[in-house]
Structures are given as C-alpha cells and as structure tokens.
Structure 1
Amino acid sequence: MPSDAAAAARQEPITRPATPPDIRLVVTDMDGTLLDADGRIPDEVWPLLAELNRRGIVFCPASGRQYATLAEQFAAVDDGGMVYIAENGTYVVRGGTELSANVLDRAVVAWITTSIRQLVADSAASGERADVGVVVCGKQSAYVERSDEPFMAEVRKYYRNHRVVDDVTAVDDDVIKVAVFDFGRAEHTVAPALAALTGTHKVVVSGEHWVDVMNTTANKGVAVRGLQRDLGITPAQTMVFGDYLNDLEMLDAADWSYAMEGAHPEVLERARHRAPAHTANGVVRTVRAVLGLPAHA
C-alpha cells in the first residue's frame, strides 16, 4: 500500500506561481512544520539546503528550541554562517555570534516559577494533580528542578544543554524565556495559571504541551524582521512556514507565508498560503514548487 506521505503528495497540489519569486530568505518552524512524524529532519532537506545555499538564499530555522539544540541538528551543513532564531525569537545567533537576546527580569522568572509550584500544590490538594514542570531557559543552558525520566525525556528533545538544579530562580545566567511543559493540555491548565502576565509579557501556547513566557518585545516575527533588516531582504523576498500560535507574528513578516496542513486554526487564518503537512514533507515540496526547482535538485 502507498504510504500516508505519498497519498498526501497526490492529494495536496501546491500552487506554482507563473514566475518564481525572488526569494532570498526561507524561515521555518521545526516541530509540526519541518520535522517529520518522528521528530527528525527529513533526508530531502539536505539537498534542498545545498541548492538554496548555491543560489544565495538564506535558510533559517525558527523554533522554541534552544540554540545549542538547533546548532547540533544542522551541524552537518552549517559552514559557520547559518542563522538560528532560537527560544521563540528571544535569542538569534549567526555564525556562532549573538545577534540579539531579549532577557527576562529575574522577578518575573521567580513569579512564574512560584505560580507553577502553586498550581501543582493546589491540584494535588484537589486530587487532580497537574503534571507540569518549569524550564528556565538561559543563554548558556536550560535549568529544571524535576529530574524524573518522563519529564527529562521531553526536556532533552528541545534543550541539548540542560542542568538539574535545586532552585531554577537562583541560576547564574541571563534568562531569555521560561517554558512550562504539561503532560496534559497546556492551553487549559498552564496558560490560565499564567494569565495575570498577559498584560505585561508574552504568554504563548507554543504546542499542545508547552507554554512559553517572554518579554512582549520578543517573538519570532520581531526576530525575522530584524534579520531582514540586517540582510537587506524584504517581506516580498521571504518565505515563512509555521503551524502553531508561536508562529503567528513571523507569518506577518513574509509575503510568502505558509500554514502547514493541520495547523492551529488561527495559523490557518493568518497565513496567506497553505503547505502540505509536515508528515508529507510539506516545507521541502513547497519551496521546490514555488522556486521552480526540480524534485531532487
């Protein structure tokens, strides 16, 4: 029988513009967007990146993942000049050099941590234990207090550099984001617990199980626009791919903005175009179709 990806490829034609646009920058989210169903970078990505590089087109992963994690994932093709938008836009690095960092006030980090500790205590008292954990994201490392294997397995997926500490509010590092993982639905538990911050900070549901807190001046869109300015690239020369709420602002930064099949409804509404699902290699197929590249160039 044909694979699900092969069936999707037949059922989801990609609109090819009459004339390929002058794309200079391709930005893509990772989870639910570029990565396959197993959370891996598809093999087809590597020849595409080589072709983009040959054409002088900048490729940039933009993720809630840690910079060290992204750099490790693309180490085989990074010649020292690749750009990474990490930690949902709070940390941007090019060629190993920090381009921007948006540091959280330590009092806010303490408030978030205390609120989540209280959420866990209150839920335990009511008999409905909230199974959540805080990840304090610094420039050097991510810091956690929980050390059980189910939680650490989730942390390792996104944070290559991580440490277990007694108190995440006391770490000696610039904190750029606080992430909270919920084994249940983060939108229904963690997000309400942090609702008091929404007037002063960015509280974003970045996946089914994750909520990220950052300064209001930090998001993937701000990072993309800053990169465009640095490189002299316009929104009309930019392609962006995303699937979840932490991708909304960066979709606004590109004329060629794509929501993946199966994306969050708000993302589907915000993006100008559609791409096949991440399980059907949608980013690679769309870039090739729009730029007029052969299937295996």
Structure 2
Amino acid sequence: MTTPRLVATDLDGTLVRSDGTVSPYTHDVIEALDARGVPVVFVTGRPLRWAEEVFGYVGAHGLAIVSNGALVWDVARDAVDLTRAVPVADGLEACTLIREAVPGSAFAVETLDGIALEPEFLERHPLPDSAPRGPLDRIFRGPALKVLARHEELDPQEFWTAAEEAVGERLVVTWSSASTLLEMSAPGVTKASTLALLCERMGVDRSEVVAFGDMPNDLPMLEWVGRSYAMANAHPSVLAVADHVAPDHDDDGVARVLAGLFDA
C-alpha cells in the first residue's frame, strides 16, 4: 500500500486516552500530518455535544463524522455539512419491535438539538439540564441522528443479537459502550458509508485510507479502508477483522503508527 492520503480514526478507546484527553504527542502528530495536507478525520459514535470537546484537534480541513455517520460537521464553520437521519416512523417501528422482543428495553433519541429520553432510560453520562424525558411517541418528534436502546439486565452482545433479529434491515444496529447500550442509525448509515461519501468528495480512493478503531461500531469502517488497525485494547471482533494491531490507546497507539507510516 502506498502512503495514505487520508486518516480516519475513532475517538474513545482509540485516539482519546482513558482519562478523556488527547496527549500532546498525538496532537503534534496530527498537526504534522495536517501541515502536509493529510487530513485526519474523526469518525466517532459520539453525539455532537460530546464530539465538540475534541474539535480543537481536528485540523485545518475542519470536518468530522459524528453519531456513527449520521452527521458530518463542518468544524471550521461550526455548521452542519451533511445529515443522514432516522425518519420518525422508522425509528418508532424499530423501537416497538425491540421492546416486544426484549422486554425491559428503554430508549432515547439524539438530534441536533440534543438528547431526549424515556423515564426508564438510565444514562451513565451527565445530561444537559434541558434534556426532556417522556414517552417515546412524545420525545421522538423529528428525524433522529441516533436512536439509543438500553437494557439493564442483558450483556451488550446478547442485546445486540436480539435487537438485530427484531429490527432486520429497518435500521443499522451497533454498539460501542462497555454498558448495554445500542446505537441505531438509518438504513445504510455507518461510519464506513459516510466516510465513503466524504472520500468521494475529496477525490480519495478507499485504498488510500488508513483507519483506526476499537469497538463493533468501527467494523464497517475497518473493513472498507485500504489499511486498518485495531487498537491493542479493542473488542475481540475488531481484532479479528483489522489488518494490523496498534498499541493501546493509553500508549498513543494511533499517533505512534502514524508517525511510522508518515515518518513524522
């Protein structure tokens, strides 16, 4: 493979360390690539409100893929570049099917305006004070960037399998959390499919892309690119698919690999 023309990297468990920071070394490597005209595109499952915390590291190209591909955010302009949202009817139908198949499921909806939750949805992260709670048909009022499903008794793999069987091809179901939290996107919307749209726009072939990830929501992206790296701390399914293994995210694995690939 020739030297990559574009880098795509997940954030949590990949570029971001366990303490939630991006190291100075990683920052320096990203800046070095950006100076050479090699964009480092953040491709994350985070909603916009969390992704903004690390936008200072994006670089001059100023684009980030957010919410597992449902949103491309123009960081430089602080504006929407592209949305690929879940229609209300499709989302409500999928949630009904999951609830019937897996009693005890609770749901939340992520939009550009933030998150809205059912009363039973137990969020592990701090919520905005303005986040509403209510029945699903009242909080799901417009297209969603992500539909979230949580279960307090099943393990993530068990819940994922059951939800996928219930939903079929109506939505894309994946997960990236240590807790039992599923993330659902519109049909065909993954990190890979939105990255493909971005690469086409930039004139970059998939063979010229190197990508890094650690969780099942990264699988489509890692399978699509020309060269893929699973982090040493990655989920077993990711380690099984990736071409290579990068050092642990707490050891600046992404930056160390990139420094070697680009002699930075």
Cα deviation 1:5-55 (Å, max 9, x = unaligned): xxxxxxxxxxxx9xxx43221111112211212233233222122212211
Deviation at 1:191, TM superposition (A): 4.4
* Structure 2 unmatched runs, 5+: none
Does the 8 Å contact 1:115/1:194 carry over to 2? no
Helix, strand or coil for the counterpart of 2:207?
helix
Give the TM-score normalised by the residue count of structure 2: 0.85
1:152–1:28 distance in 2 versus 1, CA, 3 Å: same
Tell me how far 1:108 sits from its aligned partner: 2.9
Secondary structure of the residue aligned to 1:44 is helix
Partner Cα separation in structure 1 for residue 212 and residue 89 of structure 2: 34
TM-superposed CA distance for 1:193, in Å, is 4.4
Match of 1:232 in 2: 203
| Map 1:1-297 → 2, pairs under 5 A | 21-74=2-55, 76-77=56-57, 81-94=61-74, 95=76, 96-114=78-96, 122=103, 133-146=106-119, 151-154=122-125, 156=127, 163-171=131-139, 172-183=141-152, 185-189=155-159, 191-193=161-163, 195-209=165-179, 210-293=181-264
CA distance in 2, matches of 1:202, 1:59: 25
Deviation for aligned residue 1:287:
0.7
Q: Which is higher, the Rg of structure 1 or of structure 2?
A: 1
C-alpha displacement at 1:289, in angstroms? 1.3
| Pair 118,33 (structure 1): closer, same or farther in 2 beyond 3 Å | same
User: In the TM superposition, what is the alpha-carbon distance from 1:107 to its structure 2 partner?
Assistant: 2.3
Aligned residues: 259
Name stretches of at least 5 consecutive residues in structure 1 with no aligned partner.
Answer: 1-16, 123-129
Aligned CA distance change for structure 1 residues 49 and 61 (closer, same or farther; 3 Å):
same
Q: Deviations over 1:148-206 (max 9, x none)?
A: 9xx444265xxx79612323433443212211234552222364145310233211133
CA contact (8 A) 1:67 1:85 kept: no
The 8 Å contact of residues 44 and 65 in structure 2, kept in 1 or not, is answered as: yes
Structure 1 window deviating more from structure 2 (191-200 vs 255-264): it is 191-200
Distance in 2 between the 1:63 and 1:162 partners?
24
CA distance in structure 1 between the partners assigned to 2:107 and 2:65 by the alignment: 22
| TM-aligned CA distance change 1:78 to 1:193, over 3 Å | closer
CA distance in 1 between partners of 2:137 and 2:214 (Å): 31
Q: CA deviation at 1:110?
A: 2.1
Provide closer, same or farther for how the CA distance between residues 289 and 90 of structure 1 changes in structure 2, counting only shifts above 3 A: same
Q: CA deviation at 1:147?
A: 8.2
Structure-1 separation of matches of 2:57 and 2:213: 22
Percent same amino acid among aligned pairs? 24
Q: Describe the SS at the equivalent of 1:135.
A: strand
Q: Report the Cα offset of residue 243 of structure 1.
A: 1.2
Q: Post-superposition shift, 1:66?
A: 0.8
- Bigger shift: residues 97-106 or 253-262: 97-106
For 1:138 and 1:213, locate their aligned partners in 2 and report how far apart those are by CA, in whole Å: 13
Secondary structure at 1:217 match in 2:
coil
C-alpha root-mean-square deviation of aligned residues, in Å? Answer: 2.8
Q: Distance in 1 between matches of 2:83 and 2:263?
A: 36
Q: In 2, distance between residues paired with 1:39 and 1:116?
A: 32
1:170 aligned partner, one-letter code: R
